[in-house]
Structure 1
Amino acid sequence: MDGKKLAAISRLGQVPSTVDRQILGLAVPALGALVAEPLFVLVDSAVVGRLGTTELAGLSLASTLLVTVVGLCVFLAYATTAVVARRTGAGDRSGALQVGVDGLWLAAGLGVVLAAVALVVAPWAVGALGATGDVAGQATTYLRASAPGLPGMLVVLAATGALRGLQDTRTPLVVAGVGAAVNAVLNVVLVYGLHLGIAGSGAGTAATQLAMGVALTVVVVRGARAAGASLRPAPGGILAGVRTGTPLLLRTLSLRAAILLTVWVATSLGPVALAGHQVVNAIWGFAAFALDALAIAAQALIGHALGAGDTGLVRALLRRTLAWGVGAGAVLGVVLGGLGWWLSAAFTTDPDVRHAITVSLVVAAVLMPMAGWVFVLDGVLIGAGDGRFLAAAGMVTLVAYVPVALAVRAWAPEGWAGLAWLWAAFAGVFMLARAVTTGLRARRDTWMVTGA
């Protein structure tokens, strides 16, 4: 939109339908890219699963470790999006792309280090999860075969963050979609055609991720050259990326800790609750993609508006993106709550587990609008570069959740009722704590730091 339209929005405190289209224009492709990534694990599971139970169990352990490592490095995307969007809004496209280039160097360097560490500590890491014998051997084989792809995985995060900051979510969608298709073909060829077993699956995924990293790097480099940005790593820029990313890493650690605590409590509630939790958590995760896509749109738009120095537009965008988040959460809640019994049938035939899934999905569904509020506010504050607050708030909300989770473990009954209480604690208390902390922050103006 041009300057006159932005000024009009600021004066009126409203966002017209053109910005609604802009929100969807960013969120829908972002959603596609987010959904494409889990397909890598699904494809690997389908291919390796036909090799045998031992191989599939090994894949489960190894992929859990990889997903955790990559998930902790998501700050590479979030921090880059915020800074690139801010500089773009300030009219400094060259500086914005320089940040993108520095992010690529940081991601590549970190990826090489993590790959080397993974190759060395793979047996120990697998053993720490309790694996022994053939399962441990298969997990170690997959982890070592896929480790060389870590630089590609992290470069994809950084490049995607840079492109989101430039309000381009379509390119990451195309690369993710093509990558998922190539990964499927490559896995089949290496595992069954060349008979490489589980190592072939890991190698295929690593090669695909490296290719995706190269493809997105080419896009960012072309943009940097066109804008006159340097392609050399700037030590100051890389250190700035580390400083910006560290608080977001701490925020992510607090979220992971809450998720692990929830799994630990579910385990104590018996096999029915644990099995039901696995399904409910998976469905919640896929629903979260839609809300996360709106958060990504909020990151890019808020960062751009702050860079332009337009606080009126920031407030208007805040209200509008929150409306989208709560509305999307309400729609998802109706779908999940209404289809819970039928959704459970796709995962299990055990009537007790199905009952546990259905009841817990209703609990989660009722609280989904609040989750939409939380996800969008997270995106807004990340887009504003308010990482330090988010890190502190993450620890506060974790501290608030721990005694509630422990109370569920101590007093909730086993089976479906215990699982329902656990999801009331996680989707209710934990998300409410996040909603309150981020909501109070958003009401003030201290996070609205303008300019590049």
Structure 2
Amino acid sequence: MPDLRNFWGQWQHHRMIFAIALPMIISNIAAPLLGLVDTAIIGHLERPIYLSAVALGAMVVSFIYLLTVFLRMTTTGDIARAFGAEDIRRQQQTVVHGLWFAVGLGLVIMVAAPGVISLAWWLIEPQPELAQLSAKYIDIRLWAAPAALINLVVLGVLLGRQQSRQAMLLVIFTNAVNVVADVILVVILDFNVAGAAWASVIAEVSTAMLGLYLIRTLLAGSNWGIKWPGMQRFLGMNRDVFIRSLLLQLCIATMTGYAARYGVVVVAANAILMQFLMLISLGLDGIAYAVEALTGAAIGRKRAAEVRYWMRLTLIWSIIFAVGYSLVFLLFGSSIVRLLTDLPAVISAAESYLPWLIALPLLAHWSYYFDGVYIGLGLTRAMRDTMAISALAVFVPVWQVSQWLLTNDNANHGLWLALSLFLFARGVSQWLYLKRPGLTPEQRIHQ
């Protein structure tokens, strides 16, 4: 039991936080690095359209899978609470429900592939040859949809049980297998776009097999029947987090999609600066994972004071990361931009919007932190509601009003203002929501 009177906590408990956060931060860094190798392999083929087709197809598939990340989040929260309570049966039931749901939803995605492709091309309007090659890539990739969703469930189980090193192994294994399969299928066998797609399928299926092996002790004694009251609750949680994720992704997508009205230079500048947001998420996501696992386990042990203790310690690290990011962007932001592009017009535009990125970590880290808290406490409906409030009552009005008031030269500043206030509003609304009756850690324990 931690010494709850020590505001700064004990060093061993900070080590516990980083035992969960650091492997996931490493995983978040390793994935795009291995992805660069993947891109380099495709990029050295004789026709640039192959790279474009893989990039476009991967974007569509990634968007689909990004909307299904609710499976990882809800599984983590449920498993963490059962893990803290040392309730093996509940952990097993959560795994069973998660796997059944993953397979069912994965099959739906496979069947819906033609409709997904048609909708994507209606929105994007690619050239015919590019559309044909990308459609082939997407169609092959979605054969692995059940395996990809099983991987989200397994990742949630490992994080909820605080086995973050194995979770890191799983993420790195996926990307390593993908790279090796790319070399064989694309470079050696010359299957170009289809080879890249099958490489990803092999990686997803192989990872699902490894993941199921890693949680074999839970699966061994599981009753594979579905308990409908528990399944209905699980589905409700996933529905709430899906709505939350969809609203978030629509707001983020606006930063690139709507910026197209301002010209290619602004679109390119925003694309460069959105990589800063990706850098922010590397660290803050790691802290959020730790919050989910530690607060969830404390709830399972029915120790409200311990929940608040972990909330305090992880908040300290969230603030430290946010301040660190802001200082890095202040001192080296221009250098980072110049590493990502050497186009003078894009550099000039990106540097004019850089102050937003310097402020963003301080404004946004609250939303990452409270997402972790809400998953740990099982407050998925509150996550959904606060996201809807922030998106519909802050992002959309600020975005629209800024477009009316600002000239074309400054209109993109309105987009960054809307995004900054939106992320800050998420944190504030989550903090206020947490103070409502029935939502405190003490009250959650008795529900």
Task: Give the match for residue 403 of structure 1.
Answer: 397
User: How far apart, in 2, do the equivalents of 1:451 and 1:36 lie?
Assistant: 41
**Could you list the runs of 5+ residues in structure 2 that have no partner in the other structure?**
none
1:325 to 298, 306, 318: 318
Residues 276 and 357, structure 2, Cα contact 8 Å, conserved in 1: no
Task: Give the match for residue 427 of structure 2.
Answer: 435
The 1:234–1:199 alpha-carbon spacing in structure 2 relative to 1, beyond 3 Å, is farther
Task: Give the drift of 1:321.
Answer: 1.3
Task: Give the drift of 1:244.
Answer: 1.5
Task: Give the drift of 1:79.
Answer: 0.4
Task: Give the match for residue 290 of structure 1.
Answer: 283
User: How far apart, in 2, do the equivalents of 1:119 and 1:192 lie?
Assistant: 29
- What amino acid is aligned across from residue 298 of structure 1 in structure 2? V
Q: Deviations over 1:340-379 (max 9, x none)?
A: 1111112222222112222323321223122122211111
Task: Give the drift of 1:424.
Answer: 2.9
What percent of counterpart residues are identical? Answer: 26
Residues 107 and 146, structure 2, Cα contact 8 Å, conserved in 1: yes
Counting only pairs closer than 5 Å after superposition, residues 153-192 of structure 1 correspond to structure 2 as 153-192=148-187
TM-score normalised by structure 2 residue count: 0.93
Task: Give the drift of 1:414.
Answer: 4.1
Residues 147 and 205, structure 2, Cα contact 8 Å, conserved in 1: yes
Counting only pairs closer than 5 Å after superposition, residues 31-46 of structure 1 correspond to structure 2 as 31-39=25-33, 41-46=35-40
**Is 1:125 paired with 2:120?**
yes
User: How far apart, in 2, do the equivalents of 1:325 and 1:12 lie?
Assistant: 18
**Is 1:266 paired with 2:227?**
no
1:336 to 306, 313, 329: 329
Task: Give the drift of 1:15.
Answer: 2.9
Secondary structure at 1:346 match in 2: helix
User: How far apart, in 2, do the equivalents of 1:41 and 1:410 lie?
Assistant: 40
- Which stretch shifts more, 308-317 or 351-360? 351-360
Residues 262 and 405, structure 1, Cα contact 8 Å, conserved in 2: no
User: How far apart, in 2, do the equivalents of 1:336 and 1:243 lie?
Assistant: 40
Q: Deviations over 1:352-411 (max 9, x none)?
A: 211222232332122312212221111101111101111111111111111211233344
- What amino acid is aligned across from residue 264 of structure 1 in structure 2? G
User: How far apart, in 2, do the equivalents of 1:341 and 1:13 lie?
Assistant: 38
User: How far apart, in 2, do the equivalents of 1:401 and 1:188 lie?
Assistant: 44
Task: Give the match for residue 193 of structure 2.
Answer: 198
Residues 35 and 289, structure 1, Cα contact 8 Å, conserved in 2: yes
- What amino acid is aligned across from residue 291 of structure 1 in structure 2? L
Counting only pairs closer than 5 Å after superposition, residues 379-390 of structure 1 correspond to structure 2 as 379-390=372-383
- What amino acid is aligned across from residue 153 of structure 1 in structure 2? A
Task: Give the match for residue 144 of structure 2.
Answer: 149
The 1:344–1:270 alpha-carbon spacing in structure 2 relative to 1, beyond 3 Å, is same
Counting only pairs closer than 5 Å after superposition, residues 235-274 of structure 1 correspond to structure 2 as 235-274=228-267
Counting only pairs closer than 5 Å after superposition, residues 311-390 of structure 1 correspond to structure 2 as 311-390=304-383
**Could you list the runs of 5+ residues in structure 1 that have no partner in the other structure?**
none
**Is 1:82 paired with 2:77?**
yes
Q: Deviations over 1:92-151 (max 9, x none)?
A: 133213312321221122112212221565355334321131110111111112111211
Residues 291 and 373, structure 2, Cα contact 8 Å, conserved in 1: yes
Task: Give the match for residue 30 of structure 1.
Answer: 24
- What amino acid is aligned across from residue 10 of structure 2 in structure 1? P
TM-score normalised by structure 1 residue count: 0.92
- What amino acid is aligned across from residue 431 of structure 2 in structure 1? G
The 1:289–1:445 alpha-carbon spacing in structure 2 relative to 1, beyond 3 Å, is farther
Q: Deviations over 1:311-364 (max 9, x none)?
A: 111112212211111110110111122211111112222222112222323321
Task: Give the match for residue 213 of structure 1.
Answer: 208
User: How far apart, in 1, do the equivalents of 2:366 and 2:342 lie?
Assistant: 34
- What amino acid is aligned across from residue 404 of structure 1 in structure 2? V
Q: Deviations over 1:281-310 (max 9, x none)?
A: 122113212101111110111111111111
Residues 101 and 220, structure 1, Cα contact 8 Å, conserved in 2: no
Q: How many residues align?
A: 442
User: How far apart, in 1, do the equivalents of 2:416 and 2:51 lie?
Assistant: 28
Task: Give the match for residue 304 of structure 1.
Answer: 297
User: How far apart, in 1, do the equivalents of 2:204 and 2:376 lie?
Assistant: 26
User: How far apart, in 1, do the equivalents of 2:288 and 2:377 lie?
Assistant: 12
**Is 1:17 paired with 2:25?**
no
- What amino acid is aligned across from residue 398 of structure 2 in structure 1? V
Root mean square deviation, CA, Å: 2.1
The 1:191–1:123 alpha-carbon spacing in structure 2 relative to 1, beyond 3 Å, is farther
